[in-house]
A and B are shown apart, each in its own frame.
Chain A
Amino acid sequence: MNCEEARQRLSGELRAEESDLLAHLASCRDCQEYANRPSDFEKRLHRALELDAGVLAPKRAPAITASTRASPFRERPKQGRLWALAASFLVTFIVGAAVWLSRPGDVLATELVDHIIHEPQSWSRTRPLSAEELRAVLRKSHVELRSGPGTIVYANSCWFRGHYVPHLVLTTQSGPVTVMILPTEHITSPRSFTEGGYSGLIVPASIGSVAILSRKPMPLDQPAAQVVRALRASDPSSASHP
């Protein structure tokens, strides 16, 4: 055995059967020194490798579960999984935002407000309409209003979402409200909204839905209920003979 082989062996662990190495050490002073000297180095090497467990401790140590049926060692989310998770959150956010922005109710509310803004004169009317004037407007949309919804001071048949719909203004104790009768807009439950300074409520009706808007916050459910109760489809024969 030469010194090179001896020192390679010394880097491993000495075993009793390594008699050739022991024999070499017995006859080689350099290797004896080499074999004896590393003790300090080995101590430092051990110490260097023994990192502080506190620093290395995982941020979230898994708890040992009481039930041994489940593994006490949970799988950690991997970096790739985290990216996938982040991507899925992003996609969910985008889809959610798209759904939110395209919610029919909100779009409808915006369109309703856009519409009534263009008829500002309707709010200032005070003269009650005659039954005939009202009937003429309603007939165009094939609907009628029985008595009860209050005093109607404005009525116009407006082109809205591809249809002629009745645009009315009622006077209530709290002030005027605009009523849009929407025979082709179907909703399942009442929806209130605030849009462009207007307060609104859209409620389902026997014929589509009814939207009530006011220029100030006020209770809208009562006038809405009155309109819904009064609303009905008109007689087809009368519609064909205006």
Chain B
Amino acid sequence: MTVSGRPEGADEDLARVLESYRPDLMRFAFWLARDRAVAEDVVQEALLRAWRSRSALRDSTVARSWLLTIVRREHARLFERRRIPTVDIDQCLASHDVALTVADLDPAIVDLRRGILALPDEYREPLVMQVLGGFSTAEIAAELNISVPGVLTRLFRARSKLRDLLGVVPSHDLVSVGDAS
């Protein structure tokens, strides 16, 4: 038995499960932080935090969303604690590291990635939580401490901006909807 009271094999299995989510967590953290080094810090700290409180994870099938929530909170905590200055989006997009990260054979995907990076935090975060994290709007609302309609508005605006960027907005679409408050 280990110090946490779990059988030793169970702890090792859990460590492997947590580790297997690292790529997902890195993607998630990168879109939140827009910086690979910060994302690595956030993920490592989140995994450490998750490991320390592993007794709280009763069902390993929800490990992914549990970890993503820890990553988001760790990211928020890191920014609050370190008072990291707002990312200069021009510098961010011009950096070699980001260029390497968003690279793709399809130029439209690269544009879309750059568009996502350029989104304001308040739009980018719920979008990433929804699309990449698989969180429901209610979960996002609870996590971001805003209303569900507020989340829907932000998701709508985020998508509108990205559609505009890709030029997929048809003429009959209600562009004014995206600008409505």
Contacts and interface: CB of A to CB of B under 8 A. Distances in A.
Contacts of B149: 8
A3 B40 CA distance: 41
Given A38-B159, A71-B52, A55 B100 contact: yes
Interface in A146-178: none
Contact of A7 (B37, B50, B82, B156): B156
Contacts, number: 137
B30 A56 contact: yes
Interface in A195-210: none
21 contacts: A12-B130, A12-B152, A30-B172, A41-B162, A41-B163, A44-B109, A46-B131, A48-B109, A55-B101, A64-B12, A68-B11, A68-B15, A69-B3, A75-B44, A75-B45, A75-B48, A76-B40, A76-B41, A76-B45, A78-B41, A79-B37
Contacts of B39: 56
Contacts of A55: 100-101, 103
A64 B43 CA distance: 15
Contact of B23 (A8, A53, A68): A53
A167 B40 CA distance: 67
The 3 closest A-B CB pairs, nearest first, are: A53-B23, A68-B11, A11-B155
Chain B contact residues, majority secondary structure: helix
Nearest to B23: A53
B114 to A, nearest CB: 9
A58 interface: yes
A40 B136 CA distance: 21
A23 interface: no
B178 to A, nearest CB: 8
Contacts of B41: 76, 78-79
Nearest to B19: A64
Interface of B: 2-3, 8, 11-12, 15-16, 18-19, 22-23, 26-27, 30-31, 36-37, 39-41, 43-45, 47-48, 50-52, 82, 100-103, 108-109, 112-113, 116, 128, 130-132, 136-137, 148-149, 151-153, 155-156, 158-159, 162-163, 166, 168, 170, 172-174, 177, 180
Given A46-B132, A47-B109, A73-B50, 7 more contacts: A48-B116, A51-B101, A51-B113, A55-B103, A71-B48, A72-B51, A76-B44
Contact of A12 (B19, B151, B168): B151
A44 B180 CA distance: 25
A74 B49 CA distance: 10
